[in-house]
Amino acid sequence: MPLGAKSKSSGIWSGVIEKCERKLVNWKCQYLSLGGRLTLVNSVLDALPSYMMSIFPIPAKVTKRLDAIRRNFLWKGSEDKKKYHLVKWEELLVSKRGGGLNIRYLSTQNNNLMMKWLWKFASPEVSLWKEVITTKYGMEDKWMTDGVTSPYDCSVWRSIRNLRLLWLLVKDRTKCKVGNGEKVAFRNGIWCGQETLKQAFPKLHSLSQAQETSVADLWTGQGWNLHLRRNLNDWEITSIARFHDTMARATNLAEEQDRLIWKGERKGEFTVRSTYRELRPIEEQKAGWPWRMIWRTKIPYKVNYFTWLLAKEEVLTHENLNKRKCNLCSRCYLCEEQVETVNHLLLHCKWTDQLWQMFIHKREIKWTKPGRITEVLKCWNSDGNAGKKEERWRIVPACIWWTIWNERNQRCFEGKNNNIQKIKINYLGLYYFWCKQVVIGNSEDVSNVIDWL
Ligand SMILES: [Zn+2]
């Protein structure tokens, strides 16, 4: 924790950047798959700057540097070799449901971590730091200090209190839970129902003399004293009856202090995690992105990632290499007839088709093979009509793709060609192994699993 430094200077972050870089050198990344590296990115590289981010606003320059470190690590580990960044960084920051990998936006995370201090300040617990800040800055209302305007004051609280209207965001997402009624504003606080009483009963409150008072001030012990300017007319009686009806729910003041309730969490407590979900910059809505088939299928973790890359159509086939200016003469390694695209190699190639047909014939379903990987993922579950054996059925596409991709790589890098029978056997072996790992018990043997198909 740097003392006496300017909170906005990027110099105070150099320690964090260095630490991130040092960590990377020590990891033996050549043994890690994309999934493994992503876990490290999310758990370690994200966590390192958390402490600093909870106190200081992160400068754009530092975000950029940390993003570059995370990005390079994700795609190439700690090796020096050139590796392609297969998917744009911005797409990776989107949630898994939206088509990304849910890597954290540092600036949103930074805001949320700082919001936590505002939340703590407004909570009823007494502590010395709150007293110091209250005495120094004075209170705007019962929950928060005045905005900090002087450039000479404590820069830490200034950045937390003033940062991009954070307090307004907190207010917007909370309602009040009345305890002794001393902190909750009677007219302007949301404490009885979903809106303020001023919004719910505008007429009545224009007649009230008590404008900015707390709940406790208007409670007499038996009922509410609104300090009306004049007696009510006959036609205003229904309005006051409705008012008392609403208030009947909230007439018990307690000993404890008033507190704020966070609307986004069931328990009412602010958490950085839930707020992050809510405040993440609006992501591209990918309606129909088959995230369940990609992430909820019980296959090895690295294959989930591989399927995700396939759905993005970004694995390094000849077509994708040529897009990256490799100038290869593109030919499918299996049939040697067509251009090697993701969709040809893994769906339409006559070799791959034989694996698909094994399942289609066995299940006696009519299936028109869609043109793209994402479409297969979308329709596979419903077309298979697998009932209770759904888990097994879901594994099939990823297993075909993994087998074909391995065969393709063997042909490409080692010059070894398996014939179609051997590929089918490899496939069935892998399928049985995956089923056994995650779906079926030990009692079922190979023939049972194959029979079911
Ligand atoms: Zn082919």
**251 Cα: distance to centroid of ligand 1 (angstroms):** 75
d(CA 33, CA 46): 19
**285 Cα: distance to centroid of ligand 1 (angstroms):** 34
In a domain, 298, yes or no: yes
In a domain, 185, yes or no: no
d(CA 121, CA 144): 7
CB-facing half-sphere around the CA of 434: CA atoms within 13 A: 27
Which residue range is the domain that position 300 belongs to?
Answer: 291-452
Q: Which two tokens stand for residue 13?
A: 């972050």
Contact 403, 430 (CB under 8 A): yes
3, 351, 411, 422, 428 from 419: Cα distances, Å: 68, 10, 11, 5, 15
**321 Cα: distance to centroid of ligand 1 (angstroms):** 17
**331 Cα: distance to centroid of ligand 1 (angstroms):** 8
pLDDT (mean) for 133-145: 81
**What single string gives the DSSP state of each residue in 103-141?**
PPPHHHHHHHHHHHHHHHHHSS---HHHHHHHHHH-BSS
Q: Which pLDDT does position 286 carry in this prediction?
A: 67
Q: Which pLDDT does position 453 carry in this prediction?
A: 60
In a domain, 204, yes or no: no
Burial label for 161, CB within 10 Å (0-12, 13-18, 19+), is buried
**346 Cα: distance to centroid of ligand 1 (angstroms):** 8
With 90 as the cut, is the pLDDT of residue 439 above it?
no
Number of domains into which the chain is organized: 1
In a domain, 335, yes or no: yes
**420 Cα: distance to centroid of ligand 1 (angstroms):** 13
d(CA 156, CA 136): 13
In a domain, 103, yes or no: no
In a domain, 382, yes or no: yes
SS3 48: coil
**257 Cα: distance to centroid of ligand 1 (angstroms):** 71
Q: Which pLDDT does position 189 carry in this prediction?
A: 77
pTM: 0.79
**87 Cα: distance to centroid of ligand 1 (angstroms):** 25
In a domain, 166, yes or no: no
d(CA 59, CA 49): 12
Average pLDDT, the chain: 80
Q: Which pLDDT does position 79 carry in this prediction?
A: 67
**407 Cα: distance to centroid of ligand 1 (angstroms):** 12
Q: Which pLDDT does position 47 carry in this prediction?
A: 78
Report pLDDT digits (tens) over 198-229: 777 777 777 777 667 777 777 777 777 777 77
Burial label for 425, CB within 10 Å (0-12, 13-18, 19+), is exposed
**343 Cα: distance to centroid of ligand 1 (angstroms):** 10
Residue type, 34: L
**351 Cα: distance to centroid of ligand 1 (angstroms):** 7
pLDDT (mean) for 274-288: 72
Q: Which helix (H) or strand (E) holds 205?
A: helix 202-206
Residues 6+ apart with CB under 8 A from 237: none
In a domain, 415, yes or no: yes
Report pLDDT digits (tens) over 284-316: 666 778 888 899 888 888 899 999 999 998 888
Q: Which pLDDT does position 401 carry in this prediction?
A: 94
